[in-house]
Structure 1
């Protein structure tokens, strides 16, 4: 497999993937589940993400140039690799469809109410498919600059909204016991931290170096992501208090509260840009890895690009069909089914393959 990424680029791509749509979509449902203990749920699940990095990075080092599908086939046989790979692929397709559907729902509910959301989905997937055809080594540079602009706007939003913060909203922390905190941990263990297993399909693209610090740099990216999510979650909680969990696209809503003289108004346009661009980048990464997964399951070389547009079309159809059932049905899938699906499709397979590799190593 041709190496096209440096460790720094891999860490940047990892941060983009983790932060992407989560920095706008996570705060409201997390606060709804965990109440004032949302920050505790975030820290705990961030530690879970760090632990999950261990098997991902270790397997990438032990089997350089091989993806999850390839070293699973080597360790457990082709039938097991196909079985785990199909489950692995199903979750990636669901992720791509869901991310783009979020973009469409946001545009329809906040900006273009008279436009059918299927239009947004079709054109979003068309743009994503065109983007990933150029290759990961090329679009990662553009994504880094775009993510920098997103983070600048997010920090700018938080700083301006600090004038509206009410620090009394942070108390009491665990008034309802630990159950809400555990509920929040369950929710974000699926999105975004359980999803990091997807990078087992990207690490083979990283150029090997004499002093391999890829794992450390990815761990730093994960810690920066956790800090970013803590920042926006606390900003939402301090602004809206008890009703923070009811504010969907919370940073967009926080931006609406900003009004400093006549200079800083209508800041929510920057948050709208941030949500769309960040979600677009994450969806591109997911469709890129799902395309590689599909190629390997079919025995095709990863350079093959013939299936990109058909795969994007499939994701678009799924996105439209799920969206037809309504936003309430989608919210149930994200908060109830998604964490279990991620555990079964991502977390359990990578841990299983990791333990098999350890047993094989002991025997040899």
Structure 2
């Protein structure tokens, strides 16, 4: 089969998928929910993400070469499997539209205020659809280099902001008890760790072999993502203190505070690049997964790419129609609807299929 992935490429894609838009968007709402315990919420949610990965890898090794919908058909019947596939597809379309909507809002509000929001959405989806048309094997290699540049800029930004940190802002941790911690854990599990379920559709692109350590490499990607999210969250708290939960596009705002001599100033351009590129990569992966899911539901060949542009057009319409309602509506979608949507359309179906698999005999390997 063409466009096969190596375990390392799959791990890079997972890291990109988890880090993508979250590294810029997560800190502010998470701090708003969990206050100074936000970094602990990340640890708790990452542990839940590892449990989800464990279930996915167990099913992938038990049914090699099959994606989530295919082995669900064997376990719970094709009608129910197709229904679960439809739930996953709605979730993916919602995600793709939301990610591009967020990039467009960022560009429109922070950099190019005189440019119409719709133009950004159309151009971004055009770039995304053309990227995934080349095949997962090719864009996976490109994304590795791009995410490396993004992480270098993020670490650079965090390091230069150190003189402005106030370490007293880290305390108290549990000023309002454990409820904020649980709220923050629920939020960040929904975005991004609950989204790991979606990778059950892409694992068949990797030939799983005994001793290839694919599971460990994916687990490392999750832990590395958690480390970076903790770093950017702590940097936001240490910079803004009590108002950290109100600073949208947190790392972009942190970059604006950096002023070390005349050389290191106005570094928000680097964070703007990081946000746009990281979100673009995640949008590409999500639209690719949506194409796989729709192809599977319709019973088309696995390598079919004819539905990519129609899917992109549909997501473009959603992004434009929802985006014109304003940022307040967008914030409500991210913080309230998205985690619940992911729980219903991704996590619960995985738990259902995993539970049923416990009572089925392991299929014979041909």
Q: Check if 1:47 corresponds to 2:43.
A: no
Contact in 1 for aligned 2:122/2:316 (Cα 8 Å): yes
Q: Check if 1:268 corresponds to 2:268.
A: yes
SS at match of 2:260: coil
Distance 2:5 2:207 in 1: 6
Q: Counterpart of 2:333?
A: 333
Q: How does 1:71-82 map to 2 (within 5 A)?
A: 71-82=71-82
SS at match of 2:359: helix
Q: Counterpart of 1:92?
A: 92
SS at match of 1:174: coil
Contact in 1 for aligned 2:165/2:235 (Cα 8 Å): yes
TM-score, scaled to structure 1: 0.98
Distance 1:189 1:210 in 2: 30
Contact in 2 for aligned 1:121/1:316 (Cα 8 Å): yes
Q: Counterpart of 1:319?
A: 319
Q: Counterpart of 2:285?
A: 285
CA deviation profile, 1:219-268 (whole Å, cap 9, x unmatched): 01100000000000000000000000110000000000001101101110
Q: Counterpart of 2:183?
A: 183
Q: Counterpart of 2:146?
A: 146
Contact in 2 for aligned 1:3/1:207 (Cα 8 Å): no
Q: Counterpart of 1:58?
A: 58
Q: Counterpart of 1:356?
A: 356
Contact in 2 for aligned 1:2/1:205 (Cα 8 Å): no
Q: Counterpart of 2:248?
A: 248
Q: Counterpart of 2:219?
A: 219
Distance 2:351 2:132 in 1: 29
Q: Counterpart of 1:239?
A: 239
Stretches of 4+ aligned residues off by more than 4 angstroms: none
SS at match of 2:95: helix
Q: CA deviation at 1:362?
A: 7.4
SS at match of 2:127: helix
Q: Counterpart of 1:162?
A: 162
Q: Check if 1:67 corresponds to 2:67.
A: yes
Distance 1:325 1:73 in 2: 39
Q: CA deviation at 1:209?
A: 2.9
SS at match of 1:64: coil
C-alpha change, 1:62 and 1:269, in structure 2 (3 Å) is same
CA deviation profile, 1:45-79 (whole Å, cap 9, x unmatched): 11111111111111111111111111111211110
Distance 1:130 1:2 in 2: 18
Contact in 2 for aligned 1:24/1:275 (Cα 8 Å): yes
Q: CA deviation at 1:210?
A: 3.7
Distance 1:289 1:63 in 2: 19
Distance 2:3 2:147 in 1: 23
CA deviation profile, 1:306-325 (whole Å, cap 9, x unmatched): 11000000001011111111
How many residue pairs end up in the alignment?
364
Q: Check if 1:343 corresponds to 2:343.
A: yes
Distance 1:361 1:45 in 2: 32
**Structure 1 portions without partners, runs of 5+:** none
SS at match of 1:361: coil
C-alpha change, 1:85 and 1:262, in structure 2 (3 Å) is same
Q: How does 1:188-207 map to 2 (within 5 A)?
A: 188-207=188-207
Distance 2:303 2:263 in 1: 50
Contact in 1 for aligned 2:65/2:207 (Cα 8 Å): no
Distance 2:199 2:88 in 1: 12
SS at match of 1:359: coil
Q: CA deviation at 1:213?
A: 0.7
SS at match of 1:276: helix
Contact in 1 for aligned 2:3/2:136 (Cα 8 Å): no
Q: CA deviation at 1:208?
A: 2.9
SS at match of 2:100: helix
Query: Alpha carbon RMSD of aligned pairs, Å?
Result: 1.2
Q: CA deviation at 1:150?
A: 0.1
SS at match of 2:248: coil
